[in-house]
Amino acid sequence: MKYLLDTHVLLWWLDDHSPLSSAARHTINYERNDITVSVASLWEIAIKKNAGKLTAPDDVLVILEQSRMEILPINAHHALAAGALPNLHPDPFDRMIVAQAMLGDLIIMTHDKMIQAYPAPCLMV
């Protein structure tokens, strides 16, 4: 299976004391699953960390590079698709993740019920 982690799922995976279930953690760590993280999530983490709204490891990029996770860049097709989505979710980072999942045939791992309003497959964690 091919999964795209929502930002909070990525943060929970990075934190051993998070609310991420053992089943979700197993799905992420299972070697036969392809796990992807959007550049939009890294951007969101950097902005919110700088604003003091969340904590994240300073070496998050190093951790991801050392893991088997793929980092998904944002391209023009993603930008246009995200901009064309109905404004069902107020967060532009989440709309970008939805667009990337739709274009890349990825399942979004999320805890955000508003993401389910879009026609992208989700695994609720």
Q: What is this structure's pTM?
A: 0.95
| pLDDT for residue 18 | 82
Residues of the chain with pLDDT under 70: none
- Going along the chain from its start, the domains and CATH numbers come out as 2-124 (3.40.50.1010)
- Partnered with residue 23 across adjacent β-strands are none
Cβ neighbourhood burial of 48 (10 Å; 0-12, 13-18, 19+): middle
| pLDDT for residue 17 | 78
